[in-house]
Amino acid sequence: MPDLSSGALGIKPHNAPWYQPGWGNDLKDYWPRFEAKWRTRMGGDAMGPGLPEEAFAVGKAIIDNFAWIQDELSSKPHTFNHGDVKPPNMFMMPGDLPAFIDWQYTAVGKGCQDIVFFLIEGYDVDECRRLEPIVMAHYHASLVQNGIIDYSLDDLKRDWKLACMHFPMYVAFWFGTTPDDKLVDPGFPRRFVPRAFDAVLRNCAADVLPTNLKIDVPTTSDAPGATPTEEFDVFAPVPADLSGCQKALVETRAALMEIRRQRDELKAAIKSIASIAMSTANQTPGSPNGVSLS
């Protein structure tokens, strides 16, 4: 079997010519339009949340160091990346066999890159914050269980930060500058861009950049378990072993199923009430079209 980084399998690292300098040049082109557009949305509006001031300093630093980020993600230890793992690209086949589509961003990189993008794409900020330490611990425990013993949790945390600044940021700048009338889902940037920047900021990802950019991230009072006087630590606490991670994931899945059940019951109740109200209105005598004016 050829070495993964040799390119013999047709899979290139993130700093190969297909990605570098092309993606970095794209980001430099996006940045002026992105900053101008999203500064007008800093306070948020009916369409979605905005971005905090520190997001713009971090965004510019990521663009200035994007080639370095690509180099770091391409360095060993590395593995195969799908590149665009998200719910719309995932399917379950018979026998609970997962299947993936949309393979144009395959690359040699860090294993956590696909996980990071999946979380940002698939969950809102609060749920992503809650799941992130659980998934991270489970992923590292799985690596250890499968014989990967020379990749510490600290190594994973550093790669996680790099991953937050790579494809999620590329997508954020790309779709964050695309006019609404050119988008299939105009609401997508309003959901995704704040999620992507929240991941970068809460993980203090910019701390690993060679420019040594330090951003004082304001305390997030609405983070799960946080108060206005304490800082939310995304890396603690986490289950100590694989069985603990599995238990937490099972509990999370059960909680989500219960939320969906309650949602469906509420929708059914609202539909029933609306039907009864309409029926009653249609039976009201002496009113235009059966609707009472009293």
Q: Residue 11: inside a domain, yes or no?
A: no
95: three-class secondary structure by DSSP: coil
Looking at the fold, whether 69 and 141 belong to one and the same domain comes out as yes
Looking at the fold, whether 215 and 72 belong to one and the same domain comes out as yes
Q: Determine contact, residues 245/239, Cβ cutoff 8 Å.
A: yes
Looking at the fold, whether 198 and 256 belong to one and the same domain comes out as no
Looking at the fold, whether 126 and 260 belong to one and the same domain comes out as no
What confidence tens digit (pLDDT) does each residue in 128-185 have? Answer: 999 999 999 999 999 999 999 899 999 999 999 999 999 999 999 999 999 999 999 9
Q: Residue 2: inside a domain, yes or no?
A: no
Q: Which H or E element spans position 39?
A: helix 22-39
Looking at the fold, whether 41 and 164 belong to one and the same domain comes out as yes
| Tokens representing residue 16 in the block | 């190969």
Phi/psi at 81 (nearest 5 deg)? Answer: -115, 135
Looking at the fold, whether 252 and 175 belong to one and the same domain comes out as no
3-state secondary structure 222-280: CCCCCCCCCCCCCCCCCCCCHHHHHHHHHHHHHHHHHHHHHHHHHHHHHHHHHHHHHHH
Looking at the fold, whether 107 and 32 belong to one and the same domain comes out as yes
Looking at the fold, whether 98 and 197 belong to one and the same domain comes out as yes
Looking at the fold, whether 79 and 188 belong to one and the same domain comes out as yes
Measure CA 135 to chain center: 13
Looking at the fold, whether 130 and 243 belong to one and the same domain comes out as no
Instruction: Give the Cα separation of 18 and 74 in Å (integer).
Output: 13
Start-end of H helices in 45-179: 53-64, 66-74, 112-122, 125-145, 153-164, 167-175
Our CA angle for 127, 162, 144, nearest 5°, is: 75
**Strand partners of residue 100:** 90
Looking at the fold, whether 206 and 243 belong to one and the same domain comes out as no
Looking at the fold, whether 48 and 151 belong to one and the same domain comes out as yes
Instruction: Give the Cα separation of 47 and 187 in Å (integer).
Output: 7
3-state secondary structure 126-148: HHHHHHHHHHHHHHHHHHHHCCC
Residue numbers of the domain that contains 207: 21-221+230-236
Q: Residue 293: inside a domain, yes or no?
A: no
Q: Which H or E element spans position 97?
A: strand 97-100
Nearest CA to 174 out of 22, 18, 12, 31 is that of 31
Q: Residue 184: inside a domain, yes or no?
A: yes
Instruction: Give the Cα separation of 143 and 115 in Å (integer).
Output: 14
Number of domains in the chain: 2
User: Which residues of the chain fall below pLDDT 70?
Assistant: 1-2, 5, 8, 212-250, 253, 256, 274, 277-294
Q: Residue 86: inside a domain, yes or no?
A: yes
Res 223: pLDDT = 42
Count of alpha carbons within 13 angstroms of residue 92, beta-carbon side: 2
Q: Residue 10: inside a domain, yes or no?
A: no
Is the bond preceding 237 in cis, omega lying within 30 degrees of 0? yes
Q: Residue 135: inside a domain, yes or no?
A: yes
Q: Residue 294: inside a domain, yes or no?
A: no
CATH number at residue 185: 3.90.1200
